[in-house]
Amino acid sequence: MARKVSWGVLGAADIGLKRVIPGMQRGEVARVDAIASRDLAKAKAAALTHGIAKAYGSYEELLADPAIEAIYNPLPNELHVAWTVRALDAGKHVLCEKPIALNADEAKALVAARARTGKLVAEAFMVRHHPQWRRAREIARSGAIGEARAIQTFFAYRLLDADNIRNKPPGGGALYDIGCYAILTARFVFGAEPTRVVASLDVDAKFGTDRLASALIEFPGGRHLTFTCATQIQDYQRVTIVGEAGRVEVAVPFNALIDRPMRITIDSGVDLVGGGAKIEEFPTCDQYTLQGDAFSRAVLGEAPLEFPIEDAIANMRVIDALFRSAKSGGWEKP
């Protein structure tokens, strides 16, 4: 049997308990052995529910455990950099939730920490490990739909709980939480970095976070991403990649289900009612399992780390520019 990397989890965040930990536990080369919370009872309850061997009542105790090789960090956004640096300095590799930081300057500390410690560090964007996204990118770059020129993305959910971390400054809001996916996937498909951006944000007066964000992002070669993300409207997500001779539509682009096959539609555009549409279906899989195994294989030296921390910082620069644009009312360069 392949050796499995021993993982520890910082905090008992929902994303970790409901998606990432179960996914990683199904991995070929990943094993979750410890979880820490500032509330020991909470850590013990999570460990019991998920069959995790060790529970700690502080993050420091987890980082001091010599048996733990890698850390998954799903703490609130404003704590990402500080605790990722501490984990790296403790000799652990780190997979940190998105967004990697609150701004690109803050994220640069991770490059220094990586150089200092020699440990791996990456941002946890699970979507780029899912076969549907690999295939969508392949089609877009192959010329099968002509030159891919435009991507339209919509990602929304409805969350009105004032106590939820997604509705609290400084790390809450639509752009940090889900707008980052629109940016990431466009960069992934186009294989390029944006040249300029313009954005509009609607900020909730009570929460102090953006609840609706829309943007136009220009890429080299006259290519565009347009997206809207929102935290207080109907749940919906869709991505359409449009080329000169067809389009690719990803129906469930971000929260891919694990209990049924996912599908993308490739349409030649011969008419407006889908006459040229073909559907490609992908066997059931868990993108969190794939993400955990990919990082674990890099830890084991079996494969290179496909998306290093520089990629996360590049995504963060775009988010920074969008926030600047919302204030200035004009175009900004990442």
Outline where DSSP puts E strands in 1-44: 5-10, 30-36
Tokens found for residue 188 = 């992934």
Tokens found for residue 118 = 């020699």
Whole-angstrom distance, CA of residue 113 vs CA of residue 9: 19
Long-range contacts of 273-282 (CB under 8 A, 24+ apart): 276/246, 280/135, 282/130, 282/131, 282/132, 282/135
Active site residue 98: yes
Helices (H), 217-272: none
Q: At 45, give phi and psi (nearest 5°).
A: -65, -45
> C-alpha dihedral over 310, 288, 214, 220, to 10 degrees?
40
Shortest CA distance to 2 belongs to which of 259, 248, 303? 303
Catalytic, out of 54, 98, 168, 327? 98
End-to-end CA distance of the chain: 46
User: Which amino acid, 130?
Assistant: H
Give the residue numbers marked as catalytic. Answer: 98
